[in-house]
Amino acid sequence: MATELAVETERNLIGGQWVPAASGKTFENRSPADGNDLVGVFPESDRRDVDAAVAAAKKAFPAWRDMPAPRRGEILYAAGEILKRDKEKLARLMTREMGKVLAETRGDVQEAIDMAFLAAGEGRRLFGFTTPSELSNKFAMCIRQPVGVCAFVTPWNFPMAIPAWKGMAALIAGNTVVIKPATDTPASVVALARVFEEAGLPAGAWNVVMGSGGAVGDPLVSHPDVKVVSFTGSTEVGRRISVACAPTFKRVHLEMGGKNAILVMDDADVELAVEGALWGAFGTTGQRCTASSRLLVQRKVYDGFVMKLVEGAKALRVGNGLEAGVDVGPCVSERQRESVAKYIEIGKQEGAKLLCGGEKLSAGDLSRGWFLSPAVFADADAKMRIACEEIFGPVTTVVPIDSLDEGIRIANSVPYGLSGSIYTQDVNKAFKAMREFETGLFYVNSSTIGAEVHLPFGGMKDTGNGHREAGIAGLDVFTEWKSIYVDFSGKLQRAQIDTYESAD
């Protein structure tokens, strides 16, 4: 199991060339499930590599922008087909480098496929609009235009899906890209770059620079030739990026943390709610921005829900995600596991009841990875830190509630606003919750996770800064609207002035 593929020494992709970092330095990436499994060796880049990549993206921009969008779409269709062909191989690589189980890494690659086909189809749409002018013999229309060089800074939890959400939308609109992947998951982004290469994407349209947030991310987002920054990651880093981008007024798209609540009402199908809560809380080892980390349960069904939830959490098999039958992989790194373990201690000190899990697992092969058993805290108070702060690990917190109004108030009481859900059989409750949750995503009788690529994705409050990705809304981040007026009257016509004079 340890080394399925030969260890690759990877390079940055700059202007169509695979080149080592200017520093000549490299860093290792090992599997979080097995420290003996060296996934690859990657360039440790800095500002010099960033400058070269941005210059390459800038040089490639005019030709890519001027290529007819349907032709750009054909390249993305080809990329989607290659991703389909290589889905299993890519999923296995991703499980090795990131840890989540194969079923989920297949889903991650599938999201990239879906996004490729969605964006490719946009090549024959990219709709603008026409509208009547207020003056005679004058034509008015609005078109989308690409913005220029885009910088992506991406996290490790969706190593291919998130770069693909951003990338497919930016490319179909005619932009060029420099991406800095998370240090924990560079291999999946290198693999995506190879897919684009094989699909026939011109040199310089997609550039990859690997290295740390400070040495690569920082100079990349503040580079004056970068016109759009699209970031997914923590609220803390997002805030820093927002500040770094302000002096040049560049467009900044931020997708950040979450603390998502499921409401379970007295009339809910409890079995279904438990199933959804388990999947939402422990899928991806809880390392999802949309994880169901708060379970707000009405009193009548509370005890039964908690009992079944704990039963289900204990039954989850923790292990190497490459193995059949494993439900929950490791935390992505030692640092991440330490951070989650700290929250387990905080929860105990705050007085919530730890009903299961929260232990570092080290029996047998598990000693080689960063495993933690799925933890359920119950009888928690909504104001406790474990019920308000993003933990980003296999931990969920159950809080009893008396009413729908109380549930909605608690759900909205955190600074984040990404996803939410309600389990109820009552359509009136469902619609009230749908309207009142301060979140960009909402689910009825389903967990807080499960977004599809043709709907906008993103959050409110400290989760986002008003943009969305995926769907058609995702194009707004990567295009400028241009309003165009064509006057074919042969005379000077003054808007607002002649409009009314000629009517008299």
Least Å from the CB of residue 161 to ligand NAP: 9
Q: Provide the terminal-to-terminal Cα distance of the chain, rounded to the nearest Å.
A: 84
Distance separating alpha carbons of residues 283 and 435, to the nearest angstrom = 27
CB-wise, 259 or 368, nearer to ligand NAP? 259
- Of all residues in the chain, what percent are helix, strand and coil, respectively (each to 5)? 40, 25, 35
DSSP state of 31: E
Q: Residues 44, 111, 255, 469: which is the catalytic one?
A: 255
Least Å from the CB of residue 256 to ligand NAP: 5
CB-wise, 106 or 461, nearer to ligand NAP? 461
Q: Which of 12, 29, 183, 446 binds Mg ion (CB under 5 A)?
A: 29
Distance separating alpha carbons of residues 373 and 285, to the nearest angstrom = 9
Instruction: List the interface residues with Mg ion, window 181-210 (CB under 5 A).
Output: 184
Q: Residues 245, 289, 331, 356: which is the catalytic one?
A: 289
Residue 289 among the catalytic residues: yes
Residue type, 442: F
Q: Which does 256 bind (CB under 5 to 8 A by kind): Mg ion, ligand NAP, none?
A: ligand NAP
Residue 245 among the catalytic residues: no
Binding region for Mg ion (CB under 5 A) out of 71-79, 102-110, 179-187, 486-494: 179-187
Instruction: List the interface residues with Mg ion, window 266-305 (CB under 5 A).
Output: none
Distance separating alpha carbons of residues 442 and 434, to the nearest angstrom = 7
Distance separating alpha carbons of residues 373 and 394, to the nearest angstrom = 7
Least Å from the CB of residue 27 to ligand NAP: 10
CB-wise, 12 or 29, nearer to Mg ion? 29
In this structure, are residues 16 and 203 in contact, taking their beta carbons and an 8 Å threshold?
yes
CB-wise, 37 or 255, nearer to ligand NAP? 255
Supply 468's token pair. 């969305």
Question: Buried b / exposed e across 110-137, counting CB within 10 Å, b at 16+?
Answer: bbbbbbbbbbbebbeebeeeeeebebee
Residue with tokens 């399925």, as numbered in its chain: 4
Supply 51's token pair. 């400058």
Does position 157 bind Mg ion by CB under 5 A? no
Least Å from the CB of residue 391 to ligand NAP: 10
Residues that bind ligand NAP (CB under 6 A): 153-158, 180, 182-184, 212-214, 217-218, 221, 232-234, 237, 240-241, 255-258, 289, 390, 392, 418, 459, 463
CB-wise, 160 or 356, nearer to ligand NAP? 160
CB-wise, 286 or 358, nearer to ligand NAP? 286
Does position 154 bind Mg ion by CB under 5 A? no
The 3 state secondary structure assigned to 442-492 is EEECCCCCCCCCCCCECCEECCECCCCECCCCHHHHCEEEEEEEEECCCCC
Least Å from the CB of residue 215 to ligand NAP: 8
Contacts of 107 (CB under 8 A, 6+ apart): none
Q: Mind telling me the catalytic residues?
A: 255, 289
User: Which chain residues interact with Mg ion by CB under 5 A?
Assistant: 29, 184
